[in-house]
Amino acid sequence: MIALIGLITLTLVAVAAIATVMATNLFVASMWFGIFSLLMASNFFILDAADVALTEAAVGAGVSTVLFMGALALTGEKEAIRSRVSWFPMAVLGVLALALFVATFQQPMLGDPMAPVHQHVAPWYLEQTPKLINIPNVVTAILASFRGYDTLGEVIVIFTAGIGVLSVLSFKPKGRQSVSSEALAAKVRGVQHHSILRVVGKLVIPLLMLFALVVQFHGKYTPGGGFSAGALFAAAVMLYGILEGADRSAKAMPEKVMLRLAVFGATLYTSVGLVCMLLGGAFLDYNVLWPDPVVGQYFGILLVEFGVGLTVTTVLVMVFNAFANRPTY
């Protein structure tokens, strides 16, 4: 039964992917992309990867669709018509697709216990997590503790990406005036004239934030953690910005504060590692944070996930604001 559902969703994924490529209207394409992400999220859920599914649904279907909209508002929604078919990239892609297709036959079957992925380090993680860290969600244990270095790297990547997007979008063409201050003013106003949207949106925002907090701080027991919680929290702030306009959004979450929080989140993660070193352990070795190593792990994961959540939230919101508030030239 579950295989049948998986087959249907995977087919729909393929349909959505083809539709994304075929759509000439970029607005339509980004909508298809959102559908694609939602289908992928349900696929991840079928594979029992609830943490990934949550993040994919929040980031792929939610935040990135909004960011695409923001980018389209700056560029325009028609794809440039290309009459010439470029054969070389086509051939490369064809060969690559064929190689991947052939490679799928060499893959172990889904759920095969003898598959290399289940033989390597996974049994160790599953065995040791209850002893060393004592939390039910092994994914959080791996993400924040066993493989804490990787996660630190991811946070720094997100932080750097945010800085990159901000510096690109704050670029101002020399000697050119923004095309229409009217359009910018409309953006600043948001959808304040839609009473229904505002009322219902305001009902949704606190629930969304509450859910984000649950995902953030309950991530040791249920699916979730800093990344998905950050995306959800950012979605709530973006929704507020869309409903109430950029003015009030900037008043609620000033740019300066967000920039500092983004830096603080990444610094918090690193400094937890440094404190561990000062207390005589290795970098990000939470055992030394508390006399009882299990409690130490608990605090370490809590702090690190908090840092991740802060950075992800603020970077996503800042990128959204940068798109939404940029005048067109």
Binding site for other proteins (CB under 8 A): 194, 196-197, 200, 203-204, 207
| Crossing angle for the helix pair 293-324 and 148-169, to the nearest 10 degrees | 20
Residue 232, CA atoms < 13 Å, CB-side half-sphere: 23
- Closest by alpha carbon to 144, among 213, 207, 216, 248? 216
242 vs 315, beta carbon nearer other proteins = 242
Q: How far is CA 286 from the centre of its chain?
A: 26
Choose between 92 and 183: whose C-beta lies nearer to other proteins: 183
Q: Which residue has the tokens 């500092």?
A: 260
Output the six-digit token pair for 168: 């690109």
Q: List CB contacts of 252: < 8 A, sequence separation 6 or more.
A: 237, 240
Q: How far is the CB of 88 from other proteins (least distance, A)?
A: 40
Q: Which is nearer to other proteins, 162 or 224 (CB)?
A: 224
**Residue placing its CB nearer to other proteins in the complex, 121 or 203:** 203
Min CB(190)–other proteins separation in Å: 13
Min dist. Cβ of residue 70 to other proteins (A): 16
Closer to other proteins at the Cβ: 90 or 203?
A: 203
Listed residue (250, 302, 304) closest to 274, CA to CA: 304
Amino acid at 172: K
Least distance between other proteins and beta carbon 59 (Å): 20
Residue 87 tokens read as: 């054969």
CA-CA distance, 76 to 70, in Å (whole number)?
10
Given the complex with other proteins, which of 47 and 197 has the nearer CB atom?
Answer: 197
> Cβ 49 to other proteins, closest distance in Å?
20
DSSP per position, 128-159: HHHHHT--S-HHHHIIIIITHHHHHHHHHHHH
Least CB distance to other proteins at residue 328 (A): 19
